[in-house]
Amino acid sequence: MVSKNIIPDVLTFNVLVDALCKEGMVVEAKGVVEMMIQRDIEPNTVTYNSLMDGYCLKGQIGKAQKVFDLMLSKGSVVDVVSYNTLINGYCKNKKIDEAMMLFLDMSRKGLVPDTITYNTLLDGFCKAGRIQNAQKLFYEMQACGQLPNVRTYAVLLDGMCKNRQLSTAMQLFREMEAKKLDMDIVIHSTLIEGLCIAGKIESARDLFCGLSSKGLEPDVRTYTIMISGLCIITGLTSEAENLLIQMEEKGCSPDNYTYNTIIRGFINNNETSRAMVLIQQMVEKGFSADASTTELIVHLLSKDEVDPALLPLIKQSF
């Protein structure tokens, strides 16, 4: 560009900074920002937001905060995206209280938090196991006139299920149905997993079997969740194996996680020979044992519970 007497402007530099940050090349991105300043091209809000995001993606929240502070000291416009970026960085680093301080600060400065702001904080609270705080924020969000979207509900539902608050999760799920929200397979899979974890396999099975009536098809994650619930949580290994066959018949190919899940289920239920058959299938399809499965197999080998003829196959699975 320069050789053709085309001088890059702030928009061009912003594209470059953003691209470098998304590729994890934040040091190079910072170098570009320094080059802008040397050329008397003033970085703007978009420039700094991209650089902040780059640091957050690398988990360098301290450096992201310094960029934010620099924006304030230089009198740059700090917008909702700026706050959202830093809030997300703090949440990803499990510093939800610091994220909430930023949330309160943006409100004091007259900025209106958007759905992304609330969804990020809700996810942070849920991952920290602070479900009551998440619920409180969810109600505050609606009281402020910010309507929750499907992502909002999905985050909250997942948090409730992961933190074993199943009755509250079921209530939220019914609320979503009443509002006729677009409840995709991800949301249904989340609740199925919550039911399985709680040992309510019948309810999980009913929800799974009712997917087709809602125009939904289970994906590999949905099948794997049900297989895990059947063979690992409740010991229904035969039904789990039938489900593995069914998913293939319906054109949904099991992945590495599916095979490791069902193999662990069989080993934990002392069905070693059937587990070996599945290990063979797994190896033939190019998959391998993960750390948890490997540990179980090594334990079986140490107890001489595996046919020596199968040792070459087992070695291939590692």
Q: pLDDT tens digits, residue range 101-133?
A: 999 999 899 999 999 999 999 999 999 999 999
User: Would the pTM count as exceeding 0.85?
Assistant: no
pLDDT lower than 70: segments of the chain = 1-7, 304-318
pLDDT at 180: 87
pLDDT at 159: 95
pLDDT at 317: 60
Q: How far is CA 312 from CA 49, 280, 281, 304, 309, in A?
A: 54, 10, 14, 15, 7
pLDDT at 304: 65
pLDDT at 6: 56
Span 200-259, pLDDT tens digits: 999 999 999 999 999 999 999 999 999 999 987 777 899 999 999 999 999 999 999 999
Distance of alpha carbon 32 from alpha carbon 18, whole angstroms: 10
Q: How far is CA 262 from CA 2, 243, 244, in A?
A: 59, 10, 9
CATH domain 79-158 topology: 1.25.40
Q: How far is CA 152 from CA 101, 106, 111, 114, 234, in A?
A: 21, 20, 20, 12, 31
Distance of alpha carbon 153 from alpha carbon 187, whole angstroms: 9
pLDDT at 314: 59
pLDDT at 182: 85
pLDDT at 126: 96
pLDDT at 298: 79
Q: 201 and 236 in contact (C-beta within 8 Å)?
A: yes
Q: Provide the strand spans (E) within 94-210.
A: none
Residue ranges of domains in the chain: 1-74, 79-158, 182-254, 264-318
Q: 117 and 111 in contact (C-beta within 8 Å)?
A: no
